[in-house]
Chain A
C-alpha cells in the first residue's frame, strides 16, 4: 500500500504538487495521467524517494520511503531519460551492477528480455538509440521485480512493436509475479488497456482517482444519422464529434439515463464506449 498524506513538493517556493492524499492498494496497475507540467514526474520522484517532499509524507506499507533502505530497495522508478547506468558502460556490466545493488533483481529474466528486445550485451548504454535506451531501461525495470515498479514515459522513442512487447511482458510478468505498477504516460489509448485504476493529475492536484471502468462509464459515444444525433445530444456535454458522410459520431460526457437510452434505441442510434483520452482531455480543460 502506498500512502501519501498532505504530500507537497515545491521548487524554489513554487508549488509543483499541492497537498496530496493518496491511498494506492498494492497489487494493481495504475495509470498516472496528466498534461505536461501536471506534476506526474514530481509525484513519481517523491514516491520513489528520488526527491524529498517539501511537506507531508510518503509511506510504503506504513514506513517512510525517503532514505529508508527497507523501502528504497523495494521501489524501482524508470524515468524517461532511460539512464540506468553510466553511458560508457556496456549493457552486461549495467545488468551485473543492478544484480549487485538490488536484492530482487532477476538476472535471468533480464537476459531473456534483452534478447527479446534485440539488444546486445556488448553495446554501450551511451551508444544506444533513444528507443533502444528506453527498451533497456524497461528491461532493468521489469527485471528489478521491485514490489513497486514505476515507469515514467519509459517508452519514449520505442517503435510500435517494442511498445507492444513492453505491454505484453508487463502483463505476463504482472500475472506471474503480482506487484504494483504505476505507468505514467501520454499514450493514453495505447496503455489504458493495462490500467486497473487511473489517477489524473492536473496543475499539481489530484483531479481523479477511480477504476478505469468507472472512468469509461463517464462518457458515451453516440453514432447515427447526423441530424438525429445532433437532436439527441442537445443539452449534453459534447467532448468530441466526427462526421463521415451522413453519419456522425459524438462523444458526450456523463452517463445516459434509462429514458435516454431507450430513446436512442427508438432512433436506432448506436451507443458505445468512450475513449479514455477523450475523457482525459475534457477533464483537464479541453483542447486549447
Chain B
C-alpha cells in the first residue's frame, strides 16, 4: 500500500475533474461575453475577472462536500486523522493548480481583448491590474484555498448535527469576509481593501488556512459516521 492514499485518490480523480470543469465554465463565460458584446457593444470589463466571484462560492460549495468524502474514506478503512491531513493537502494543491489555470485564462482573455480592441478592466476590489499575472495567481490561490478549506470545515461541522457544529458558521463567516477582503473576490462595506502585496496576501492566506485546518481537525477528529435512511 502506497503512502497518502486519500490524497492520491483525490489528486488522481477529483483534481482532473475540476481541471476539466474549470475551462468548461470559462467557455460558458466566453459565450456570455460574446452575447453581451453582440447586444451591447464592445466589452468594457473582464469576463474572467467577473466570474471569479461565482468561482469563489463554487469553491466553498465544493469544499462543503467534505463530509461525504470523509464518510467514504471511513467506510473503506481510512481514519479521520488521515483525512484531516490529506484532504487539506489535496485542497492546497488543487488551489495552486486551478489558480495557475485561471491565470492562464486571464492571459488568453487579454490576448483576445487586445485583438478585438477591448479593455480588459478588472473589478475595483481586486488587488491586481490587467497583466499583473503574479498577483492574479496569488489572489486566486488565496481565494480558492480559503474558500475550499472553509467549505470543508463548515461541512464537517454541520454534519455533526450539534449546536457546537452550528457555531462553526461564525469563524467561517469571519474567514470568508476578511479573507475575501484581502484577496478581493468578496467584499462587504465593512470589510474592504484588498492587500496589494503578494507576500502579505500569502501570509494572510497561510494564517487563514491554518485556522481552517485547525477547525477542520477539531470537528473531524471524532465525528461519528451517521447512517443514512435506506431508500
Contact = CB atoms under 8 A, between A and B. Distances in A.
A6 B79 CA distance: 24
Contact of B74 (A50, A81, A82): A50
A73 interface: yes
Interface stretch (B4-12, B88-96, B124-132, B167-175): B4-12
Contact of A146 (B77, B79, B80, B224): B77
B1 interface: yes
Contacts of A50: 74, 224-225
A83 B81 contact: no
Contacts of A83: 71-72, 75, 228
Contact of A41 (B6, B222, B227): B227
A93 B12 CA distance: 11
A73 B82 CA distance: 12
Contacts of B225: 45, 50-51
Interface residues of A, number: 35
Task: Find the residue from B5, B71, B222, B230 having the highest chain A CB count within 10 A.
Answer: B230
A49 B224 CA distance: 9
B114 interface: no
Contacts of A86: 68-69, 72
B73 interface: yes
Interface of A: 41, 45, 49-52, 67-69, 72-77, 79-86, 93, 97-98, 100-103, 130, 144, 146, 156-157
Contacts of A85: 72
A110 to B, nearest CB: 12
Nearest to B78: A101
B231 interface: yes
Nearest to B221: A67
Interface residues of B, number: 29
Interface in B77-107: 77-82
Contacts of A81: 227-230
B76 A102 contact: yes
B72 A103 contact: no
Nearest to B12: A100
A68 B1 CA distance: 16
B13 A93 contact: yes
Contact of B77 (A45, A74, A80): A74
Contact of B79 (A72, A93, A98, A130): A72
A97 B13 contact: yes
B75 A77 contact: yes
A165 B41 CA distance: 67
Contacts of A101: 5-6, 9, 73, 76-78
A98 B5 CA distance: 10
Enumerate the 4 nearest inter-chain pairs by beta-carbon distance, A residue then B residue, closest first: A50-B225, A101-B76, A81-B228, A73-B77
B230 A100 contact: no
B230 A156 contact: yes
Contacts of A41: 227
A8 B69 CA distance: 27
B13 A67 contact: no
Nearest to B228: A81
Contacts of B5: 100-101
A165 to B, nearest CB: 20
A79 B227 contact: yes
B218 to A, nearest CB: 14
Interface string B138-163: 00000000000000000000000000
16 contacts: A49-B74, A50-B225, A52-B222, A67-B80, A68-B79, A69-B82, A72-B79, A73-B1, A75-B77, A76-B77, A80-B227, A81-B229, A83-B72, A84-B72, A86-B68, A101-B78
